[in-house]
Structure formats: structure tokens, C-alpha cells
Amino acid sequence: MVCSACGAESDAVDELPFPCPAAREGDDVDHVLCKVLATERVTFAHEDSENPFERYREMFHSYQFACQYGLRDDEWVGLVVELDQKIRAVDGGGFQRTPFARNDELSDALGFNNGGGVWIKDETRGVSGSHKSRHLFGIALYLAAFEKLGFLASGGEHLFAIASCGNAALAAAVIARALENPLEVFIPVDADPAVVAKLGALGARITTCPRVEGVAGDPCVVKYRERVATGALPFTVQGPENGLVIEGGSTLAYEMAELAADQGFTLDHLFVQVGGGALATACVRGFEEAAAVGCGKPPVVHTVQTLASPLSEAYGRALSSAAGNELAQHRSEFMRPLSQEPSSIATGILDDETYDWRTLIESALATKAAPITCTEERLQEAWELGNRVCDSKVSATGTAGLAGLLELRSRGELDLASKVAVLFTGVER
């Protein structure tokens, strides 16, 4: 794990590979630990398993690092199976490859032709009803592996912390309950009562964080960081806070890349809704890693936000700057918290800032795929259309990527003979 901004490495067993070890408060450097994969030495997919954390295990830093210090391959597989069974006991279902297929009804409705179409990756049946659990299970596996090796205290002794009021919090609560670990969730005052009740039922400690007038940024994140500073582990879906969250999410891209390769087609575009940015970052990196080990070619990744779009604002600042390494070294010049509290039917992507922003800006600059912003009308249209063509009930956040596809199509900027994909990321609660 190497910081993409300063080059610091995290390679010691007594130093958790979560935040960059060289990060200092106020240095304005965009420190993010990123996996450097030895692609010539890995097997991409073990086809005897449908569990993505077993199937793609050699792509994980956690697996490679643990094996380096003595964990056997069969012991890793045993940990995956053991933890997955515990999660099934809590949530009713475990991890497996999720559906990814061309949706004929949606493809026809949008006028795709000549071999083109729209593929849907449906995460609504995943653990806790969204993709968020993938990010967090990767952290849980790392901890379990190093507990088994004797480098960490045994389970139940780590306080997990997360700032979230939706799917990420629910995923964290399910996994923490399965591991019998305490979890503190920092939520806003207007959190959905149904979600709060579910968190309580799962045993999470809940701390409500009101906004402070004149203070920019999410107060939940502020309080969460204070708790981490006192010893809690960052069990969160934000790459700068915990570099391991990205590789768990990248299993989504691995699955899409493998299926496309098996079926003999190239995915041209992927539309991804963006709140904190970990999902889209995981997709960008996951497709790049799959390509590096010989599985397909990365699609152009289009990021999608509401009209309150910190990512779009950062992209505009990057276009007007000299760029280069300035993005990494002067974060506040590009990524800034929104000046006003955002509002949308797509509540799950209303982060005050895009925490995992830099990979997405660099990708957008390289592919000339500017972040897409969508009106509430467009988000509503996507929600209604998505639920018409999907078997399960999808939230407005979950269909926001489709809103980006609709927006680009309405502008006439999309070849209807291309193969495009959207992610349906969360069930309606």
C-alpha cells in the first residue's frame, strides 16, 4: 500500500494500512493509500467459487500481505467462509457474484441498436441491500487474517466507527454484529427513523451530530474523526480514511470485466452515482487492474451527482489549473465542501464533499468525460424507469447512475450502438 500523493508506504504488520502514515492534519495533501498490484504474479479469478472475496482473492492486498506473513491459501478461504456464514446468520444472505446482464426492455426503451444496449449490475440483493458491504467486508477480512496470525488482538476488542445515515451505516452494523464488534455510527439529525431503528436493532451505538452554523463540511465526519483519533478503527467507506475500502468495492468491476470477457464483448461506458466517491473509484481502479492481468479493456467511467456537485466543481477548477501533481499536493484548491446543505431525492449521494475525488478527476481529465449533474426531474425519471425494468425495488440513489445515462443520451452525446452499464446500488427501504 503506497500513498498516491506523497509516496509513503505501509508495509509493516504492526501498522494498519488504513490512512497514510505520513498524513498530518492541515498539510492539505490528498493522502490516500492505494494498492500496488504485482500483476505478473496473480491469478485473476478462481472459478470454483461464487463468493467474490474467494474468487478474486489474489487481487487483494489483504490476501497477499497475509500470505507473505504465513497465512496459507486454504486458511484465507476458510476465513472468508467463516465470516460469510456469520453474516448470513445476521442478514439472511452472504456474498456472491451479483447479476450483471443486458436489460432488453431498458435497451429498447432508450433506442440502443446495432449490438448496443444497457447492462445492469444489480446490487439490491447484496448483503444489507447495497454494495456498501463489499467495501467493509474487505476491512473485516484484513483484521480477521491478522488476528489469526497473532498480530492483532482477537475480535470484539476493536471499536469500529463510521459516519453515515444510510446504506453504509447499515452495512457496517451488519458486519460488526456478525463479528461481535462494537460499532459507533455518527448520524445527522434528519436521519431516516427507519434506518436509525434498524441500526439500533443491530446493536450499533448512535451519536447524532447537528450542524454548526458557519462550519463547513459534514459534522458527522468531524465527530467520527475525533473518535478515530482516540483509538477507534475507521470502519468507513472513504478511501482517505481507510485505503482498504477500495479493493472490496473493486470486486464489482472484476465481476463485470470477467463476464464481459467470457461473453466476448467490450463494455464501452459505465455510469456511476457518486456521493463520497469510493464506489466510482473502486470501479475505475478495478477495471484497470482487471485489464492489467489480461481481462478486458476499461470502459469510460462517467460520474453522476445531483446539481449540488462538489465533484463537478473540482473538475472545473482542475481544467483551469496547470493540474499535474497540484491535485494531490493542494487538495483544498480543488475539492471543497459545499457551501450549503444539499437536498435531493437521491439522499445517498448528498455528501458535503467527494472524499474519493482525485482518481475520478484524473480519470475524467484523461477520458474527457466530465462529471454529469442531474436535475431532480431527471433523477425522478431514472427512479421510475429503473423500477419499471428491475425485479427488485431500487432507491432513487440506487438509480442515479441511470439518470446520468439519460442525461447524456438526451444531449446526443452517446453512441446508441455502444455497450453501456449502470449500477443499481441500493434497495428502497
**Could you write out the DSSP letters of every residue in 197-262?**
HHHHHTT-EEEE----TT--S-HHHHHHHHHHHTT-EE-SS-TTT-TTHHHHHTHHHHHHHHHHHH
Q: What is the mean pLDDT of residues 180-187?
A: 95
Domain tally, the chain: 1
378 inside domain: yes
147 inside domain: no
Look up the domain containing 405 and give its range. 100-129+246-424
- pLDDT at residue 323 in the model: 53
C-alpha cell recorded at residue 116: 448496443
Using 50, 70 and 90 to split pLDDT, how confident is the model at 27?
Answer: very high
Using 50, 70 and 90 to split pLDDT, how confident is the model at 154?
Answer: low
332 inside domain: yes
28 inside domain: no
What CATH number does the domain containing 320 carry?
3.40.50.1100
Taking the C-alpha atoms of residue 84 and residue 216, their distance in angstroms, rounded to an integer, is: 39
- pLDDT at residue 8 in the model: 95
260 inside domain: yes
- pLDDT at residue 26 in the model: 86
283 inside domain: yes
Taking the C-alpha atoms of residue 330 and residue 320, their distance in angstroms, rounded to an integer, is: 14
- pLDDT at residue 303 in the model: 98
pLDDT at 324 over 60: no
- pLDDT at residue 320 in the model: 83
Neighbours of 331 (CB within 10 A): 21
403 inside domain: yes
pLDDT at 322 over 70: no
3-state class of 309 per DSSP? coil
Angle between helices 400-410 and 376-389 (to 10 degrees): 110
Give per-residue pLDDT as tens, 259-298.
999 999 999 999 999 999 999 999 999 999 999 999 999 9
3-state secondary structure 254-278: HHHHHHHHHHCCCCCEEEEECCCCH
87 inside domain: no
